[in-house]
Structure formats: C-alpha cells, structure tokens
Structure 1
Amino acid sequence: MNLFDATLPNFLGGLAVLVLASFVTWVIRRGPRVRRYTLLNSATPEGSPVLHLTTLRAGTIIRRDVGRGMERFELTKVQMPDGTYAAEPMDRYV
C-alpha cells in the first residue's frame, strides 16, 4: 500500500465536506430576503414616510392604500440613504 492509497479516503471525505458546505451556503443565500421599501411621495398622517416590508423581488408591482385610495408601486433595486429600497409610484405620472 503506497502513500496515495492511504490518503485517498481522507482527501475524498474532505472534498465531500467542502462540496456539501458550498451547497448549503448557496441554498441559504438563495432564500427570500425581507426588504424594507419606502413608498416614494407618500406619507403617514404624522408626516413620516410609508414603509412596506416584503420578500418580493424588484420589478414587482404592489398595491397599497396610502391615504388617497389604492395606488400601485413598483419595487426597485435602488437603495436609499436610510437603508430602505425605493418603491416608485406608478399612477401619479400618467
């Protein structure tokens, strides 16, 4: 029995652990992330911005009641200085 035959099981075991750890990390990162969106040009009665929590991806259109009735907003990838993402109103610019 040479050195290669003696170390092969340890090498294959380490490789299997590495592949498994990489797969688990990939699955965890793929999972849905909760994002906080600021609905642009919308405010609560107290004057603070309207926030929306969701796991939906950018490009999705949502409907929210922002005090003037139901409005549509498009979720974007644009991150604002406060760490939230921008949700662009769609019905106001028509």
Structure 2
Amino acid sequence: MNLFAATLPNFLGGLAVLIVGGILTWLLAQRAGRVRRYTLLNSAAPDGSPVLHLTTRRAGTVIRRDVGRGPERFELTKVQLPDGTYAAEPMDRYV
C-alpha cells in the first residue's frame, strides 16, 4: 500500500501530460485541415466577380493560377478581408 501511495502522484502527472498532449495534437490537426477561401487580389473572372481559390494550404504558400492573362503566382496570406475570405497577393505583377 505504501508503494502505491508513493507512485500515485507520478502516475497522475504522466496521465495528465498524455491527455493534454493528445488534446493539443487533435486541435492542431483540426486547424491544419481546415479549408480556407482566398480572394486573388487584383484579379477578376470574366463576369467581373473576384477570383476565389479554395485550399487547405497554409499562409506563405505560393500557388499558380490562370486568371485570364496567363498563369500567375499568388502568395497566400493570413490577412482576412471584410467578406471573410483571406487575401492572396499577386507576386509577378509588381516586378
């Protein structure tokens, strides 16, 4: 009985670390797999509406899209626009 009482705090501490680690891993996995809508800045579809791009990739990723003038590169950002989408900045236009 004395051995059980001496090891109980270590066991409970280890169990708490495993539970917290599991919860954090699950939360990060849920966040990483979320689909985000990006508005390709300074680009318009043939009908004049903004060009949108759906992806699960993180901010900082460079994508290539054809927006009417040929393929262009856009960098995904963390900036959220008023309509709820995120901004994708053109990389080749300002060179």
Deviates more, 1:65-74 or 1:28-37: 28-37
TM norm structure 1:
0.76
Q: Which runs of 4+ in 1 moved over 4 A?
A: 11-17
Instruction: Give the letter for the 1:73 counterpart.
Output: F
Distance 1:46 1:13, change over 3 A: farther
Percent identical residues: 67
1:12-43 Cα deviation digits (max 9, x unpaired): 67655543332222112222232211100111
Rounded Cα–Cα distance in structure 1 between residues aligned with 2:16 and 2:85: 35
Instruction: Give the letter for the 2:21 counterpart.
Output: F
* Cα RMSD after superposing both structures: 2.3
Instruction: Give the letter for the 2:18 counterpart.
Output: L
Rounded Cα–Cα distance in structure 2 between residues aligned with 1:18 and 1:43: 52
1:81 aligns with 2:78: no
Instruction: Give the letter for the 2:52 counterpart.
Output: L
Secondary structure at 1:50 match in 2: strand
Structure 1 match to 2:93: 92
TM norm structure 2:
0.75
Rounded Cα–Cα distance in structure 2 between residues aligned with 1:61 and 1:44: 20
Secondary structure at 1:67 match in 2: coil
Q: Which runs of 5+ in 2 are unaligned?
A: none
Structure 2 match to 1:20: 18
1:61 aligns with 2:62: yes
